Structure 1
């Protein structure tokens, strides 16, 4: 009678032991379930140093982190800028330095089953290009992050290349330099200029450009002719007219 009562208790005890064992095995394989490990369980260490030229290490290491294969393994920096990520199995991993103030080039580290390390820069554009890196890693910062675009400054080139300024300056240069370059006394050249300027002003309400050009080129010549004619002509002598007086009429 007593033996039959102990059988259900023994069965419940065996089930409880199996449940506890299953829970412990699930906890051990949970975080590293997606990691391919070796049968002998060999783990390795990725180590190196990050450097920011011209900046003290204590000024940036507190906010920086070292990430291996995304966030699968996370490491922290020491006060001298060195780091070590432990318990990493053999394989190929991308090592990145994440900092809010400075940017670093990612590095790929290949770990063999015997623990040999090979490092090379990661080039997402030219994947076939291989640039070897020394190990332990020496990762240098490329510069600070630029979160904002630099405001453009005003310069003389911007002023001169302004379309409105060019539309105002170029005609003035043409008007000033054209008489010095082109022989304005040539009638054929003057006629061609008048025709080209006439084509530029088809609106009848506007003043005739060819006429303005003709007056501009012939202004100096006309003034010289006017001066010469004024010098050549002399004023006519005044003739005195005598009227008969009363005494002469009586005589």
Structure 2
């Protein structure tokens, strides 16, 4: 916490509020906010943004929004904090609504803006909204990176649009990583699409032959349909190629 005998400054307050955010320590965060008000410290853009972020990450969206709405000036970082706050707390539609207000304010969104939105849509199952936002990235000259693609594959996979998810992965202008392959393989497992899963696992292995997670998933899929010999062959290949130990790159939970 802030020492009474120290002269407070913006950087100090932001640092403490950031720690409260990471720890989701609402009580400490509120103490800092009360102290700021008590000493009459003027809220500037970075400090107000830190308060928005702290309250949102502590699940206090009403308080986060109150600080947000009171701000006379908002930059992309502040808008992102509010959008992300709604998203991580499961209010995807509110996140999309805030994004619309952001567009009306003429603040240009960036990659983090769209990543927060796509993640929110994926967890809420807002397929059409997610697809619309992903397409809209090009309007702002924001180039999708692997995290954006992972969110889209996750969104499509969770909703059962496996063929569309596979087509997206195969059309990517950058090489898929473990997050992308893992999201698609996880969806295949969820919807019991074994044949597709095996096909995807083969592509994943070709791209990253030392990631034993792909082999394990593929072997399990073969076993699930009684193809024991193929399953054993996959495990044998895994032992030969993955000599450096387990490489954790994704999850299928």
**TM band (smaller chain):** under 0.3
**Alignment TM-score, normalising by the size of structure 1:** 0.23
Which structure: greater strand fraction? 1
Higher relative contact order (Cα pairs below 8 Å, separated by 6+ residues): 1
**Alignment TM-score, normalising by the size of structure 2:** 0.23
